Structure formats: structure tokens, C-alpha cells
Amino acid sequence: MPEPVLSVRHLKVGFPTRRGTLTAVDGVSFDIAAGEVLGVVGESGAGKSLTGAAIIGLIEPPGRILGGEIYLGGQRIDTLTAEAMRKVRGRRIGTVFQDPLTSLNPLYPIGDQIVETIRTHTPLSRAAARKRAVALLRETGVQGAEERLDGYPHEFSGGMRQRVVLALALCAEPELLIADEPTTALDVSIQAQIIALLKRLAKERGTAVLIITHDMGVIAEMADRVSVMYSGRIVEIGPVREVVLSPRHPYTRGLMGSIPPLAARVPRLTQIPGAMPRLDAIPAGCAFHPRCPQAFDRCRVERPERLAVAPSCEAACWLYAVPRVAPAEVGA
């Protein structure tokens, strides 16, 4: 098997406090291959964005990586100095954030910002960099790219600004693109265009894409595989079709059951009782057990690791332990 573009191994991220360290990302592991789109989905506070921030080295203090390893193209990057990591960001890792206005300087034309980024990471002259900026804007679907190069961010719509940010992220032809909620602030028709654009760029350029979102519809449309996070851990991971059509973990089943089906009317959608625990109140055992309708004694005292539930799917749930638990114990 070819080496993955991104490999995350047992990543732990925490925040030191006077009462001890709060662990927000706990033992997360996954790989992304070239040209593959991996979606990370879960409720707010699950640790999705923090995982992305750890990969690009932008965790806000006092947060820090407590353990684990991150490899980009076989090179370990979580131990790099701040200066070395600054060279990796933009050159080898491109990033698209939720609000494009936070990524664009309102005082400079977007052309100047793209040209500056290109020249920072490549040896191109200013004239060559400007030509490349026009080509990138065209590739990302900005109409009249050459004329709009001298426009300011406030002169672009939300969807167009997101395309400009995507062009910025692709300036140096990165190996990995991390998109953190890239469609949340956009209307539905623009969302569909951005999703199609990201999928096309991944396939045509061979870029590995990590898309972080709370929207299962975006994941189903865009991702090749999906990783479901809950309380800082991956509870299920596998091909998107498998996870969407046959969710194994009770939390994933709850997420899918809360989405209205198009094919038939249902009297009531699935509701997951309770809320995700605070970082200082994560229960022992499986963090989901207080909300799980199938929890049993083992779930309350022992934390499950990811178990194989299908040839290409894993779920962190004791329901799939061997020997299997009797249905009477499960409460099914």
C-alpha cells in the first residue's frame, strides 16, 4: 500500500488548568491517502476543529499536544519548531476556514494577497505570480478573474470570498488541504458549488482533503470516508456509504436517525437524550454511555477501543466485542 499523505497516530490535545489537564482530543488516529477526502463529523465540542488545528500547528495557548504523532508525507511534523512549521503551512498544507473574512486582509486587494502567498512559497517573479493568481481564481470558479484580481474582499460575495480563500490555500500546490466548516456560512446553492469544487480539486490534483463539519449531508455528498467524533474520540470510521446506510455505533445511528428521510414520512425523528459532557466531567468507560439506549455494565467502567465491525469499518463500542454480549445484557 502507498504511504498515506497524512497519518495521525494516538493524538492527544489538552488544556492545563489549576485543577489538572483537560483532555479535549484523546487518542485520535487516522490516515488520508492522496486524492482521498476524509470527513470528520460530530457535535460542537467533539474535538473536530481542534484536531485540524493540531495538524497545522495552530492550537491556541494554553492548549498543547500532550501525546501522539503526526506525519505528513512520511515526515513527522508535530515536533517541528514554530519556524519550520510556518514553512510547512501554506507550502505543504493548505487551509480553508469557516469565515473567509478572517483569512483575508480587508486593506489589500485579493490579487496582492494571492501574489504574496505564491512568492512566499515559490521562486516565481511578481509577473509570473500574478499570472498564476489569475489561473487559480479561474480554476476555483471566480468569473472575470483578471479584472477581479484588483478587487477588495468586501467587494466579493460570501461564496466568491470562499473561492478566493480556496485559491489562496492552493497557491503552492499543497499535499494536504484542511477545510474547517467551509460551507457553513453559505446558502445551499453555493454550498453545492463549493463541495463540487473541492471534490474536483482533490481528484484532479491528487490532494488529500480533510473536511471538518457538523453537517452529515455535506459528508455524504463529498467524502470518501467519514470519521465520527464524540467527546474527543473517534467512535466510528469507515467508507461514507457504509457509515451512512449502516451505522454501527449507537451515536452514529442517533445522528443518522435525526435526519429526515426523503423517501418516506416518519412520525418522529430520532432524538439523542442529554448533551455531550464537559471536558471536566467526562464519565468513566464509554463517554457516550449516559446517553446510549444500549449501554450495559462494561460500558460504564471500561473505555472501548475501535473494533473491526466490517472489512473496512471500525467502531469504538463494546457491542462488537468478542465474545459478543448477549442481547439480554444489551437491553435490545
Higher pLDDT among residues 32 and 268, named by residue: 32
Give per-residue pLDDT as tens, 208-223.
999 999 888 888 889 9
Give per-residue pLDDT as tens, 108-142.
999 999 999 999 988 999 999 999 999 999 988 89
Instruction: Decide if pLDDT at 100 tops 90.
Output: no
Closest CA to 198 of 38, 44, 57: 38
Contact 129, 121 (CB under 8 A): no
Contacts of 123 (CB under 8 A, 6+ apart): none
pLDDT of res. 324: 52
Instruction: Decide if pLDDT at 64 tops 60.
Output: yes
What's the CATH superfamily of 6-92+174-330? P-loop containing nucleotide triphosphate hydrolases (3.40.50.300)
pLDDT of res. 27: 95
pTM of the model: 0.91
pLDDT of res. 199: 87
Give per-residue pLDDT as tens, 272-312.
899 999 999 999 999 999 999 999 999 999 999 999 998 89
Kindly report whether the peptide bond that precedes residue 62 is cis, defined as omega within 30 degrees of 0: yes
pLDDT of res. 327: 45
Domain residue spans in the chain?
Answer: 6-92+174-330, 101-172
State whether residue 74 is helix, strand or coil: coil
Residues linked to residue 89 through DSSP beta bridges, in sequence order: 93
State whether residue 257 is helix, strand or coil: helix
Higher pLDDT among residues 331 and 124, named by residue: 124
Give per-residue pLDDT as tens, 183-200.
877 788 888 888 888 888
- The mean pLDDT value for 244-257 works out to 92
Give per-residue pLDDT as tens, 8-28.
999 999 999 998 999 999 999
Check residue 227 and report its DSSP letter: E
Instruction: Decide if pLDDT at 332 tops 60.
Output: no
End-to-end CA distance of the chain: 40
pLDDT of res. 328: 45
pLDDT-wise least confident of 142-146, 153-157, 187-191, 224-228: 187-191
Note the Cα 188 to chain centre separation in Å: 20
The C-alpha atoms of residue 274 and residue 267 are separated, in whole angstroms, by: 21
Instruction: Decide if pLDDT at 261 tops 80.
Output: no
Percent of the chain with pLDDT over 70: 96
